[in-house]
Structure 1
Amino acid sequence: MDEMTTPTGAGHGRAVAVRVPMRARSRTEPHRASTPLELLFDLCFVVAVSQAGGKLVHALARGEPGHGISGYLLVFFAIYWAWVNFTWFASAYDTDDVPYRLATLVQMSGVLVLAAGVPRAFDHADYTVAVVGYLIMRLALTCQWLRAARGERGAARRTALRYAAGLVVVQLAWVGLLLLPGALWTGGFLLLVVAELAVPAYAEHDHRTSWHPHHIAERYGLFTLIVLGETISAATVAVQSALDESAALDLLLPIAVGGLLIVFAAFWSYFAVPIHEHLVSSRRAFLWGYSHYAVLASAAAIGAGIEVAVEQVTHHADISARAAAACVTVPTAIFMLMVWAVHTRHFKNGLAEHLVLPAGAAAVLLCTLAGHLAVPLAGLAAGCAVAAGVWLAAGESRRARF
């Protein structure tokens, strides 16, 4: 073999300049954490998430929820799936050598092109720029999978080649979709979403890649923090608007406080359990990862909803106070339900613990009726749900000791 080998993970800390085979990393590797390159990659998605959230705000503030929500869901899937493609590959094959870093930087460039295409996709259903961004990302990622196949043997090699082939076929289908008439586009989009989700199942049906459970859990947690950051940003906008719009000070400050309470409660509920202990099989992990589309999309939508609530109070939105309240309470309730359904449910004991987040979500939805006071009340409801969960878990811990 004309390639030099290095121990698994030996390249981390500095890029290895020699040619090395891309070997799978161990699923039991200790102290596996996100790398600076992965964190830089995530930062590129801040732009895309912000673009999608901004467009959702404008549509909701204009009283166009149908267009806004449908466009947001389609665009956010493109953002989410681009991140997923990179994350699971990196968990199994991150060698951190020069070729790997260069390929990842190319993927980042594709993410930025995707972000630039978000406004066209949202406003005019023109996905040309977004598909070009995907082409750039997929070209680099396909090369990564082919490189992984070269370094593997047997079933692991077949899996890598299936991933590469699946990416190429689906990406060609996306390019072909651009040629379809507008009336057929939505149906084609949904069909290709199913095809995208099927690629990992097809590739790994007889051999599982060596993704690292703790690393995957950390990566999803970090992306959740990124989208929750949109809510913190929206709360900051509310405070700034309160300072600029002194006439609405008594309404804007409660929105800011309520928004912060919501994001604090969302953080607490999401990071309350060691979810990596649940990710013991590909079936569990893929279902958990796929379901995070709803978790992440709703988390980002909370920030957009707070911005809509601010615009309504400052008379920059053509919707009622109750409609603006729903822009916050609905995604908050969805987030709480999804976190319970796919994340914390696996660690709950007894009916009372299981009901905390669903009941909290119902209470948050009821806050919609409060109009201008809905956001602070929703924040209190979410906070009470977290407090109840902590109290019940502490009681369970005390009973376990005796």
Structure 2
Amino acid sequence: MSALIRPMRPRDPHEHHRAATTLELFFDLVSVIAIAAVTAGFHHAISEGHGLEALPKFIFLFLAVWWAWMNLTWFASAFDNGDKLFKILVMVIMGGELLFAGGAGFIFETMDFSYGLLGWVLMRFGMVCLWLRAAHTNPEYRGTALRYAAGITIAQACWCLLYFGTAPGSTAFFLGGAACFLVEWAVPPVAESHRQTPFHRHHIIERYGLLMIISLGELVLSISHGYSALFGDHPSMAAAVVSTAALVIVFAMWEVYFWEPEHLPSRRIKTAVMWGYVHVLIFGATAAIGAAIAASIDVATHHGHTDQATVSLYFGAAFAVWMLALWVVRDRILPLAPAQALCLPVMAALTLLAGIFGAPVWGFAVLAVAMALWRTARPPVAMAEP
């Protein structure tokens, strides 16, 4: 039984060489599928000329996928003991997210959760069990863990009431959904105010970096679709140009995001909550850029029912959100030189203007290169462990 169930002791927040486990990487595969499914729905909506109508759905579903990932990520950073029961409960959470991801296309079209709600119940069941285990094992963190378990349960009850009490996709549904997310997001600050969990700062930085790689994968997938248009009887050089420009963009985004190793400069709860929550704008904007790239390829291959100027609006807005969110969670906090600190806000404004004026994808590539050269002109900031 010792191999099956071990005490769920808190991890050392200063543990040396703390890295993501293979189980965490395995769990991330589920997030890949879910993010891809949600992004595909948004891509097709933009390409068909209904992007604005689909935007609330994209935001709603992306928030759901991100929140499931975030819940387990922060818990594992503090209490992952790697025993068999932990792995089984993670499998239950993965099964729930896969059930939700499998219906993401249907949910995107109809906003009818049906079995997707069951997936959420399974995910929350697994998380509540994990927090109850932490409460049982650790008297010093019992109050925090019980607050998490109770908060997650209340939030799930709110989602059930929303599903059975409103029409899918109605105004009441989206308003109620926003209220449910507010309940969800209130749980960690309320729970952590009792006693902060011992999350590992560098482990969390790595986990968020891995999800950023997953999000960038949406751009890479779109790029590959563009190059596939070169094969066949009627190769599309226009699609290849879009893909090449997009490749430059994704490399520039990767360079700028990972340039600073100290993304999260402190373990203070206010800093951690702000950093952890605002990152959803970075991840979501990255996925939206991937959808815009895919829609641009549709326009280039004459498979879309819109024009590039319209697609560029989504491209420019998403890229601007990405830059501003990265400035908020990182550059605003780090002790940067004035020139570097101004880079992302200035480039965000230029990128948004490019979107408004219908710039082609290669135009955004030029701006992305300028951003990367400007932001990485000086060495990364060196910070001591706080």
With the shorter chain as reference, the TM-score category is: over 0.9
The answer on 1:28 being equivalent to 2:14 is yes
2:61 alignment partner in structure 1: 75
CA distance in 1, matches of 2:152, 2:356: 46
Tell me the equivalent position of 2:311.
324
The counterpart of 1:178, out of the listed 163, 168, 172, is 163
Q: Distance in 1 between matches of 2:346 and 2:243?
A: 24
Within a 5 Å distance, the mapping from 1:3-402 to structure 2 comes to 17-154=3-140, 156-182=141-167, 183=170, 184-244=172-232, 246=234, 248-249=236-237, 251-275=238-262, 278-368=265-355, 371=358, 374-391=360-377, 393-394=378-379
Query: Partner of 1:178: helix, strand, or coil?
Result: helix
Deviation at residue 120 of structure 1 after TM alignment: 2.4
In the aligned structure 2, how far is the partner of 1:61 from the partner of 1:316?
8
User: For structure 1, which segment, 59-68 or 268-277, has the greater mean C-alpha deviation from structure 2 after superposition?
Assistant: 268-277
Q: 1:30-63 CA deviation, whole Å, 9 max, x = no partner? A: 1111000000000011111111011001111111
> Greater shift after overlay, 47-56 or 335-344?
335-344
TM-score, normalised with respect to structure 2: 0.93
Distance 1:115 1:396 in 2: 38
* CA distance, structure 2, for counterparts of residue 252 and residue 38 of structure 1: 36
Distance (whole Å) between structure 2 residues aligned to residue 225 and residue 84 of structure 1: 15
Highest CA radius of gyration, 1 or 2?
1
In the alignment, structure 2 segments of 5+ residues that lack a partner are none
Name the SS for the 2:229 alignment partner. helix
- Could you tell me how far apart the structure 1 residues matched to 2:92 and 2:235 are? 49
- Of the structure 1 ranges 35-44 and 122-131, higher mean CA displacement relative to structure 2 is found in 122-131
Q: What is the SS of the residue equivalent to 1:347?
A: coil
How far is 1:394 from its partner?
A: 4.8
Alpha-carbon separation, structure 2, partners of 1:254 and 1:297:
25
Query: 1:81 and 1:277, CA in 2 relative to 1: closer, same or farther beyond 3 A?
Result: closer
The structure-2 alpha-carbon separation of the partners of 1:65 and 1:19, relative to structure 1 and needing over 3 Å to count, comes to: closer
**What is the TM-score with the length of structure 1 in the denominator?**
0.90
* Equivalent-residue separation in structure 1 for 2:185 and 2:210 (angstroms): 22
Structure 1 window deviating more from structure 2 (266-275 vs 35-44): it is 266-275
Conserved? CA contact 1:329–1:375, under 8 Å: no
CA contact (8 A) 1:62 1:317 kept: yes
- 1:181 and 1:265 map into 2 onto residues whose CA distance is 43
Please tell me the root mean square deviation across aligned C-alpha atoms, in Å: 1.9
d(CA) in 2 for partners of 1:107 and 1:395? 37
CA contact (8 A) 1:231 1:259 kept: yes
- Tell me the amino acid that sits aligned with residue 158 of structure 1: G
Paired with 1:208 and 1:369, the residues of 2 have a C-alpha distance of 44
Q: Any conservation in 2 of the 1:42–1:223 contact (CA below 8 Å)?
A: yes
Q: CA deviation at 1:116?
A: 1.4
What is the letter of the counterpart of residue 26 of structure 1? Answer: D
Structure-2 change in CA distance of 1:323 and 1:173 (3 Å):
same
Report SS of the residue matched to 2:14: coil
Contact 1:167–1:199, Cα closer than 8 Å, also in 2? yes
Task: Tell me if structure 2 keeps the 8 A contact 1:32–1:214.
Answer: yes
User: Where does structure 1 lack aligned partners over 5 or more consecutive residues?
Assistant: 5-16, 398-402
- 1 CA distance for matches of 2:225 and 2:354? 22
Cα pair 1:259 1:376 within 8 Å, conserved: yes
Cα offset, 1:364, TM superposition: 2.5
Report which stretch shifted further, 142-151 or 312-321. 312-321
Shift of 1:365: 2.9
User: What amino acid is aligned across from residue 349 of structure 1 in structure 2?
Assistant: L
Structure 1 or 2: more helix by fraction: 1
Which amino acid in 2 is paired with 1:358?
P
**Residue identity opposite 1:112 in structure 2:** L
8 Å CA contact 1:364, 1:381 repeated in 2: yes
Separation (CA, whole Å) in 1 of partners of 2:90 and 2:364: 40
Cα deviation, residue 319, structure 1? 0.9
CA distance in 1, matches of 2:11, 2:233: 55
One-letter amino acid matched to 1:200: P
Whole-angstrom CA distance in 2 between matches of 1:80 and 1:387 = 30
**One-letter amino acid matched to 1:362:** A
Quote the offset at 1:206 in angstroms.
Answer: 2.1
Letter in structure 1 aligned against 2:328: A
* Equivalent-residue separation in structure 2 for 1:31 and 1:238 (angstroms): 40
Other structure's SS at 2:248 match:
helix
Count of residues in Structure 1 that have an aligned counterpart in Structure 2: 379
- Secondary structure of the 1:243 match is coil
Aligned-residue offset at 1:84: 0.6
